């Protein structure tokens, strides 16, 4: 089925639609679609703990695709493995704080990118150029912004853009 047909075909329910919309985003971010679909499934599935066969059935994915996706998502800190006494299955559930870990991973990437650019600029001396400086400056800016967002989130500051304007001093009283 093409992306266009998937976008216009009515979904069986809101969960399926959510998972499929996330799956389409995978194409834009360069991540295998199955990984993004499994992550989406784990956000909305009931019950919140799912075995690999549960995920396979829910998403109509192969055992190999589910295995690769759960291994990747567990390694990235999005999922936890759960075992229950007397049950031979391993279950997966969305890890608390998994979204914060993802943002922290982006912060590490921005920090590494800035450090590489800093070393290159230091080595280049007078030969350093505008594109390299721009890379370093943009990376440093994102590094600072992500650090600030993580600090605010950790402090419990509301980051929801839909409600962010309510307390801003630049908003006129109505």
Residue 18 structure tokens:
């959510």
More confident residue, 27 or 140: 140
| Residue 173 in this model has a pLDDT that exceeds 50 | no
More confident residue, 55 or 108: 55
- Report the C-alpha dihedral over residues 98, 63, 21, 11, rounded to 10 degrees: -130
| Residue 7 in this model has a pLDDT that exceeds 80 | no
pTM of the predicted structure, to 2 decimals:
0.70
- According to CATH, what is the number of the domain 3-94? 1.10.10.10
Dist. CA 89–CA 39, nearest whole Å:
19
What's the pLDDT at 9?
A: 52
List, by residue range, all CATH 1.10.10.10 domains of the chain: 3-94
List, by residue range, all CATH 1.10.287.160 domains of the chain: 98-155
Dist. CA 162–CA 61, nearest whole Å:
35
Q: Please, which pLDDT band fits residue 160 given cuts at 50, 70 and 90?
A: low
What's the pLDDT at 70?
A: 98
> What is the CATH T-level fold of the domain 98-155, as seen in this structure?
Helix Hairpins (1.10.287)
Residue 170 structure tokens:
């630049």
Q: Please, which pLDDT band fits residue 106 given cuts at 50, 70 and 90?
A: confident
Q: Please, which pLDDT band fits residue 50 given cuts at 50, 70 and 90?
A: very high
């Amino acid at each position: 089925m093409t992306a266009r047909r998937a976008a216009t075909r009515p979904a069986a329910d809101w969960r399926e639609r959510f998972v499929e919309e996330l799956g389409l985003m995978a194409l834009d971010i360069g991540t295998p679609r199955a990984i993004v679909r499994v992550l989406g499934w784990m956000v909305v599935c009931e019950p919140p703990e799912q075995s690999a066969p549960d995920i396979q059935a829910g998403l109509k994915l192969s055992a190999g695709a589910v295995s690769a996706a759960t291994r990747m998502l567990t390694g990235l800190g999005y999922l936890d493995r759960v075992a229950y006494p007397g049950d031979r299955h391993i279950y997966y559930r969305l890890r608390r704080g998994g979204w914060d870990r993802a943002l922290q991973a982006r912060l590490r990437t921005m920090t590494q990118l800035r450090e590489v650019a800093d070393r290159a600029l230091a080595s280049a001396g007078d030969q350093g150029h505008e594109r390299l400086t721009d890379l370093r400056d943009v990376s440093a800016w994102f590094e600072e912004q992500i650090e600030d967002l993580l600090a605010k989130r950790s402090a419990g500051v509301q980051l929801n853009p839909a409600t962010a304007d309510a307390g801003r001093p630049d908003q006129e009283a109505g």
